Amino acid sequence: MAELSTDPRDRLLALSRERNVSLARLSSMIGRNPSYLHQFITRGSPRRLEESDRGLLAEFFGVPEQELGAAQDKSQIGRPAGQPLDWAKVPRLALGASAGSGSVPVEEEATDTFRFSRRWLREQGLDGARLSAITVEGDSMEPLLRDGDEILVDRSERPFRDGVHVARLGEALLVKRIAALGFGRYSLVSDNKAYPPLEVAADEIEIIGRVVWKGGRI
């Protein structure tokens, strides 16, 4: 069996590859900017992970904090014994939102969960109980969203504002830039200009939620 690296940067990079999760997504989950962990690994900045960040990453990967740079007797510093780390679990639904001509949804069952830092969610003004993750299908929202990306959909009841939303049109589930045109009509616009915009009446469309985060392979 290969010996584990004692360098926390090497170990974190190996863990991210084993779990097939990008450093950018890990950075977002601990409430940091997307380049935070990439800079930690490649540039040595910061020199070491903060205890709260290290604890969240260790919990996510299911490894001792010492593997990520904690001193041998420091793995529980900063939180009382038995107190869980502050994660929110967001369901990953067996649904595909089409960035194309339209995807017919399957049953809305959770197949897995994403874990997000509650601190990060609070900073974004999001409620974990009103979030769900689904997969993008198709290329009409490229370059913003690519086929296979996973998106976080905020289903909170808020006044509508223009932006990227997931919506149901007939039997199809779509992800588009949606704008209110007034007079009870909406426009659905693709970022990929090969797809023409669509205009629909308000009673033809059900807006499921706003897209607030994306994750995918580089």
Q: State the pLDDT at residue 76.
A: 44
pLDDT over 60 at 172, yes or no: yes
d(CA 1, CA 72): 23
CA angle 148, 201, 172 (to 5 degrees): 30
| pLDDT beyond 90 at 197 | yes
Place 85 in a pLDDT band, splitting at 50, 70 and 90.
low
Query: Is the per-residue pLDDT at 3 higher than 60?
Result: no
Architecture of the CATH domain 8-68: Orthogonal Bundle (1.10)
Identify the CATH number of the domain defined by range 87-215. Answer: 2.10.109.10
Confidence grade of residue 97 (pLDDT, cut at 50, 70, 90)? low
Average of pLDDT values for 3-26? 83
Q: What's the CA dihedral at 212, 150, 133, 55 to 10 degrees?
A: -80
Which residues of the chain are in CATH 2.10.109.10 domains? 87-215
* pLDDT given for residue 20 in this prediction: 83
The DSSP bridge pattern shows strands 131-137 and 150-154 to be: antiparallel
191 contacts 143 by C-beta, under 8 angstroms: yes
pLDDT higher at 84 or 172: 172
Threshold 0.85, pTM exceeds = no
Backbone phi, psi, residue 136, to 5°: -85, 135
User: What average pLDDT is seen over the chain?
Assistant: 82
- pLDDT band per the 50, 70, 90 thresholds, residue 92: confident
Helices and strands (H, E) in the chain, number of each type:
5, 9
Given a cut of 90, is residue 73 above it in pLDDT? no
Token pair listed for 209? 């939620």
Which long-range contacts (C-beta less than 8 Å, at least 24 apart) are formed by 55-64?
Answer: 55/79, 55/85, 56/29, 56/30, 56/85, 56/86, 56/87, 56/117, 57/12, 57/26, 57/30, 59/85, 59/87, 60/26, 60/29, 60/115, 61/15, 61/19, 63/11, 63/15
From the CB of residue 184, how many other CB atoms can be counted at a distance below 10 Å?
Answer: 11
The mean pLDDT of 102-119, rounded to a whole number, is: 66
pLDDT tier at 216 (50, 70, 90 boundaries)? confident
